[in-house]
Structure 1
Amino acid sequence: MAQQQKNKESYVEVIGDTVYGKHLIATISLSISLSLIGFFIGKQIFPHIAPEQMVKSYSLLLGIAGSLIALLINTLLFKPKRILNETPNTSAELTAVYQKLQFDIEEEREAILNDPVTAQEMKEQGIYDMFMEEKREEH
């Protein structure tokens, strides 16, 4: 039953990420609430302890603090649900992607070979061999 309920959850795409709609509404509500609470508490407290011209500024800072607290709470309440499956790509797969995008992989390989800094960075990231595999096979 719980699995069926989980499958019925509706997703929403926001800024390139996919989230549960109810979690999005909850995070927005919590953030707005804590921000406004902080601001209005500041409007009540700061007239007694701060100069008159600074009350609005200090209240705004307290509202921003409320937003940061909401961020922390939202982070703890709603953990990422994304599962990343990483598989190493082969040079042939890379070549197919370049062909699909209509890029010249040989031009890319030449650019990598002519730039030792880029080549070194790619070696450190472990992707150099993926780009240069077919090049070595030709020689």
Structure 2
Amino acid sequence: MKPELFEVWGDTVDGRHLIYAICIGAIVSLGAYFIARQLLVGWVADAQMARAYAMLVGIVGCLAGGAISATLFKPKRNVVEHLADPAWRSKILIELQNEYGPLGSLADLPPATIAELREMDLYDLFAEYDKGLHTSPDEPPVKTVSATSIEGGRS
């Protein structure tokens, strides 16, 4: 039997596991609250303060219920990795430039951002875009989609 999947807050979940997780969270958090309330009434002089502390213990119970559910029910999402078409990436950069204006220069970015671009294999794409911005007026700008290679650079 194939599980019925739903999208909740941008994540994919199994409907049965979602109901189980809600029940686990309710039982753990309410149990923690009621136990703490019973214990704290004898220790704390003010009954209202005992209930307030018990509510804090109940909130910790919510976190514990979430941790239990996360351990029991693994994610249902399927991550599919594929290399994006460099021509498509170049086309998107051109569309962004046409809609919002120049995207800026790599020289303006902090080293941490440059390192992140390199990790995501996007540095060469933005370097080509940046090189196209700094060509002389006699040269045509690097905006042709068909001139990109598989590696994202100029051919």
Normalised TM-score (structure 2): 0.68
Identity %: 32
**Aligned 8 A contact 1:12 1:18 in 2:** yes
Q: Is 1:59 aligned to residue 47 of structure 2?
A: no
Alignment of 1:21-100 (within 5 A): 21-52=15-46, 53-98=48-93
| Deviation readout 1:99-122 (Å, 9 max, x if unpaired) | 6xx4227933xx133424277242
- Count of residue pairs brought into register by the alignment: 128
Where structure 2 has 5 or more consecutive residues not aligned to the other structure, the ranges are: 133-152
**Aligned 8 A contact 1:89 1:130 in 2:** no
| Deviation readout 1:1-49 (Å, 9 max, x if unpaired) | xxxx02xx21211111121111111111111121111111122111111
Larger Rg: 1 or 2? 2
Ranges of 4+ aligned residues in structure 1 off by more than 4 Å: 133-136
CA separation in 2, counterparts of 1:13 and 1:116?
Answer: 36
- In the TM superposition, residue 84 of structure 1 has moved relative to its aligned partner by 1.6
The RMSD of aligned alpha carbons is: 2.7
1:113 to 1:55, Cα distance in 2 relative to 1, 3 A: closer
Pick the structure with more helix per residue.
1
